[in-house]
Structure formats: C-alpha cells, structure tokens
Homo-oligomer: A and B are copies of this chain.
Amino acid sequence: MSAQLQNDLYLRALMREPVERTPVWVMRQAGRYLPEYLRVRKQAGDFMTLCSTPELACEVTLQPLERFKLDAAILFSDILTIPDAMGLGLHFVAGEGPKFSNPITSRADVDNLPNIDAGTDLRYVMDAVSVIRKELNGRVPLIGFSGSPWTLATYMVEGGGTKDFAKVKGMMFSDPDAMHALLNKNAVAVTNYLNAQVQAGAQSLMIFDTWGGVLSPDDYRQFSLHYMQQIVDGLTREADGRRVPVVLFTKNGGRWLPDMADTGCDGLGVDWTMDLADARALVNDRVALQGNLDPSTLYASPERIRAEVKKVLDSYGSGPGHVFNLGHGIHQFVNPDHLGVMVDAVREFSAS
C-alpha cells in the first residue's frame, strides 16, 4: 500500500545494521535559514497556521530534501502542540518565542488538564504526517517527534521560555506530587500522540528532552527519564512489518547516556559538548548515536566545515550505529550552502 522505501539507511543505522555510508539529517532542517521556508511562512501568516495546515507543513518538510541529499525527513510541527491541545493557549510573541495564555500554576490546574486524544484533538498533525508520507513517496523515512514530558512541563509552568526555570523547579521542589501528576499526564499524552503519528505514517520517532539537562542527576532520573521510560514502554515499535526506531535526546545530558540507553530506546541524540568516542564508550554500543557537530560550525569556511565533519566521523569510529546530525537545531543565520558542504562531506568521508 505505501511506496517501497528507497533509502532506508537511517532506519538501518538506528538498528545498528551495516550501512554503505553514514546517514545524515539535521535538526530543524525545515526552518528559517531557508529562504523558501520564509516564503511559505509569510504566506501562512503565522507560525501556528503553518503547523496546522497539512499542505503547508508538508511543503516545508520537503523543502530541505530538494536542496540537500538528506537521508530522513522530519515532520514539521511545534513541540508544544500537546499543551496547546490541552487548552493552554499557545501563541508566539515576536522575538520572545512561545507563550501560553493559561500556564499551570497549581495542583488544581494540573488536575483540570483534559486527557487528549491525539487522533482527534491533534488531527492536523496526523493529517500532515499522512500527506508528507504520501508526498515523500518512499524517498526517505519520515521521523515523527514530541517534546519530553519534562520539557513540555517547563513551558507549561513557566508560561514560555525561561532562563532559570524558577517556576517549574519551584513547583518540583515545593509540590513534587503536583509535578509528578503533571508529568504523568504529559507522558500519557505523548505516548498517545507518538503512536497516532506512527499510525498516520511516521517510520521513526524522536523525543526531544531539551531541558532535562538543567536537572541534578537524581532529579533527572525522577522527573525526566522516568517519564521517557514510561513512553518508550508504551510505544508501537513496529509498522508495515518493520521496526519503528525510537531516539531519545536530552540536551546537556551526556553524563546520563547509559541510563537513557537502559530505557530500551534504539538511539540517543548527543549534543556537541561530548566527543562521540566518549559517548560510544559510555553506552558500550548498546544503542545507535545521533550527532554531534556544533551547529555554529556552519559559520566556518567550507574547508573548516569539511575538517570538522571528518573529526565527528572519526570520533565515532568504525562499525555501525552512527547517524550524522548537528548537536542541536541549525541556526537561522546560517548560509544554506554551508549545510550542503556538510551533507556532501558526510557522504564523501563515510562511504565505505
């Protein structure tokens, strides 16, 4: 029924199967550094319209694949769709990022959060997944994603971005039961959301734990990792007769890679603050690793970019299980041609 997958390097690398070369994709590859993205975003009027209009979301998802020889597509969406569907009122303030009109401030607010059914309450996301999968027509696999329960909670309690996490950690320390109740609701919703994405056509999943790294080791295990474990346990791991690999990514979470590998996920994202050789030694080849070039490297000269790509590939070393990526999302002011240099260098240097 679905078109045969023509390039499954990404899925095979995540399963730690041998590959002809290291697959590569880039976090936020559909984004503001691309003039064609800015055009569609302008046409959409605002960011949420872009996310919630399946044809537009599909168009921007595919844009980077037209320019660069990438080995995966990732659903274009926002990480805060779930709390928005829960009624928190997501909106974007120019220059300030996401905001919630109705942040969580008490245990009562947590208890009043509705259980969402992603298939209906976030229908627009599932429609986007279906359209993208159809338009991809088997070229490369489609990655679905969600924010982690803890990362969603930071925005839900802070009401937006934050520098010191005072409100969300304030709740965590002053009312840990309320925080656990919130995280459990989020975990249930994320599980439901990711499974709906697989049902709609996602062939791989990624959980972005952008803010797990601001926690102490004990608190990370209790308030972030525990709920990612709950999600991994509840995910559909097969579709179309094929494994749906799951990747966890905690930014600034390098020290905790062994614990993350214990969840039973297939791969781990690694940011650029740790060498892949060290990361690989930590997880002892139990899972695949995805990363980890510093996104700012793309400000360098083409020669320097090529050298840094080689360094990352060499750091991972030989054997299967590496997906090349930046260590975080691509910056908006990067020259797109520099991403092309990076992608081509990965293909050239990793070909066996």
CA distance A214 to B301 in the complex (A): 21
Nearest-neighbour CB distance to chain B for A223, whole angstroms, equals 12
B174 touches A213 (CB 8 A): no
CA distance A213 to B253 in the complex (A): 12
A273 touches which of B174, B213, B275 (Cβ 8 Å): B213
B331 touches A166 (CB 8 A): yes
Interface readout for A147-182 with B: 1 if CB under 8 Å, 0 if not? 000000000000000001110011011100000000
For chain A, the count of residues having a C-beta within 8 Å of the partner chain is 35
B296 touches A273 (CB 8 A): no
Number of copies: 2
B255 touches A169 (CB 8 A): no
- CB-CB under 8 A for A273 and B170, given A164-B331, A296-B165: no
Nearest-neighbour CB distance to chain B for A136, whole angstroms, equals 30
Asked whether A47 is an interface residue with its Cβ less than 8 Å from the other chain, the reply is no
Binding site for B on A (CB under 8 A): 164-166, 169-170, 172-174, 213-219, 252, 254-255, 272-275, 294-301, 304, 311, 327, 331, 333
Q: Which 8 A-B pairs have the closest CB atoms?
A: A169-B296, A173-B300, A170-B299, A173-B299, A216-B272, A174-B299, A166-B331, A216-B294
